[in-house]
Amino acid sequence: MPKGLPLIGHVLSFAKDPSGYLLQITKEHGDVVNMNFGPRGMTLITRPSLVALVLRDQAKKFKKPYRGFPALNALIGNGLLSSDGDFWLRQRRLSQPAFHREKIRAYAETMRTFTLRSLEQIPTELDLFEFLNTLTLEIVAKTLFNADLRGQSNRIGQALEEALLANRAQMAQPIPLPLSIPLPGHQRLKKAIGELDSIVFEMIQNERQNPSEFSLLSMLVAARDEDGSAMTDAQLRDEALTLLLAGHETTANALAWTFHLLLKHPDILAKASAEARSILGKDGCHLEDIGKFPLLKQIWQETLRLYPPAWSIGRTSLEDIQIGEYSIPKGQNIMLSQYVTHRNAEFFPDPEAFKPERWIEGFEKSLPDYAYFPFSAGPRVCIGNTFSEMEGMILLSTILAKVDFAKAADYKVEIYASLTMRPKNGLSVTTKSKAD
């Protein structure tokens, strides 16, 4: 085991700025650091060859740690993101067809039309992050659940927000406190989860009464075990909430960070808008346009390097394991961090700089495995990676083609790292719609 860091200062620094702290200790102590995180030991591993051992080569020797975090557990229970072993494999196989390339291509039209619809009423001053969150939530609800969340997305967004706040507080507790302790944050969380449950159970109820021709929910509702038993409502609820959460916030974050970086680099923003406008007409980005934006693609890849929405990944060892030269005991918590690994100057010269041009043809292939892994890789790779990349291109190009942005007077962006990495104060901008 690598040498440990002292407990107290370390927990406080992590609580204050999780991603910044992990970067700092990696710079100071190397790419494998043992953090004495109270009774829960935590080893931070950021060297790509070792990350590959955890996520791919020895993946079966690890489980997900989420069940140990009561806030997250109450939110997503035993859904695809948090379940393990044979149970996870079965649920993954059931869900996978909804993410096949052909299915995803059919979602492009919803992504385009929903974007155009939301741009019709875009105010001249707004929080662009909130706007993107609403849009991606409506898209994932329509594409995967055939549900129209217009008018409800604010309620859902606020409830998810409460859950993420409670999770952030628990990430920094050496032993996460059970929700039965009546802290104000816990009370708010329970109320928020009650709201989310009522919306999701209603979706399930609707699906049972009026089965849709095709949706992920319809497939899950229709699925039968070998013994003929169907998924319980409780399991359907966990899967649905997992996908609603994982399927919108991450992409909204990626887009919000993209706009943040573009606003910081007006020269690149101008070129990106010009690229979008040279290709697209007034009806936005169709499926066949997606491959026509080389600069936007580079910008998207560079954004996911600098601000990976899934900025860290946790695992717990199921047995004693050798990871490179390190012996990891059974029950050890492991943390991997895309945010830190993506800032390794060996692979990304001038790592803090926003340089879309580094993603020239062949650059990604030249990197060692797991030097760049915004969607992870291996058996637990993000099920929504193709969905998200398509959504990113459609929304980014359509918005850039139709709207000009500038920072508002109160624009102030900081990193907020909880389960995901998002801009802390949102993205306060002014807009000017381009004449058609």
Q: Which residues contact 160 (CB under 8 A, 6 or more apart)?
A: 75, 192, 196, 244, 245, 249
Q: With binding defined as CB under 6 A, does residue 313 bind ligand HEM? A: yes
Residue among 397, 345, 335 nearest 65 (CA) = 335
Q: Least CB distance from residue 91 to ligand HEM, whole Å?
A: 8
Residue 90 and residue 77: Cα distance in Å, rounded? 16
Tokens of 156: 């859902």
Q: With binding defined as CB under 6 A, does residue 307 bind ligand HEM? A: no
Q: With binding defined as CB under 6 A, does residue 81 bind ligand HEM? A: yes
Q: With binding defined as CB under 6 A, does residue 383 bind ligand HEM? A: yes
Residue 50 and residue 40: Cα distance in Å, rounded? 21
Q: With binding defined as CB under 6 A, does residue 384 bind ligand HEM? A: yes
Q: Least CB distance from residue 123 to ligand HEM, whole Å?
A: 25
Q: Are strands 4-5 and 32-35 parallel, antiparallel or unpaired?
A: parallel
Q: With binding defined as CB under 6 A, does residue 185 bind ligand HEM? A: no
Would you tell me how many other CB atoms lie within 10 Å of the CB of residue 353?
A: 11
Residue 24 and residue 21: Cα distance in Å, rounded? 5
Q: Least CB distance from residue 69 to ligand HEM, whole Å?
A: 12
Q: Which segment (35-43, 107-115, 306-314, 428-436) binds ligand HEM by CB under 6 A?
A: 306-314
Q: Least CB distance from residue 7 to ligand HEM, whole Å?
A: 26
Tokens of 16: 């204050």
Number of residues that bind ligand HEM (CB under 6 A): 24
Q: Least CB distance from residue 93 to ligand HEM, whole Å?
A: 10
Q: Least CB distance from residue 399 to ligand HEM, whole Å?
A: 16
x/- contact string, 92-121, with ligand HEM (CB under 6 A)?
Answer: x-----------------------------
Residue 376 and residue 379: Cα distance in Å, rounded? 9
The CA angle 100-104-107, to the nearest 5 degrees, is 155
Please report, as residue ranges, which positions from 246 to 275 form the binding site for ligand HEM (by CB under 6 A): 246-247, 250-251, 254
Residue among 252, 187, 225, 182 nearest 422 (CA) = 252
How is 115-165 classified by DSSP, letter by letter? HHHHHHT--SEEEHHHHHHHHHHHHHHHHHH----TTTHHHHHHHHHHHHH
Q: With binding defined as CB under 6 A, does residue 340 bind ligand HEM? A: no
**Chain CA centroid to CA 327, Å:** 31
User: Which residue, 298 or 376, is less far from ligand HEM as judged by CB?
Assistant: 376
Q: With binding defined as CB under 6 A, does residue 73 bind ligand HEM? A: no
Q: Which segment (102-110, 226-234, 316-324, 381-389) binds ligand HEM by CB under 6 A?
A: 381-389
Residue ranges binding ligand HEM (CB under 6 A)? 80-81, 92, 140, 242-243, 246-247, 250-251, 254, 308-310, 313, 374-376, 380, 382-384, 387-388
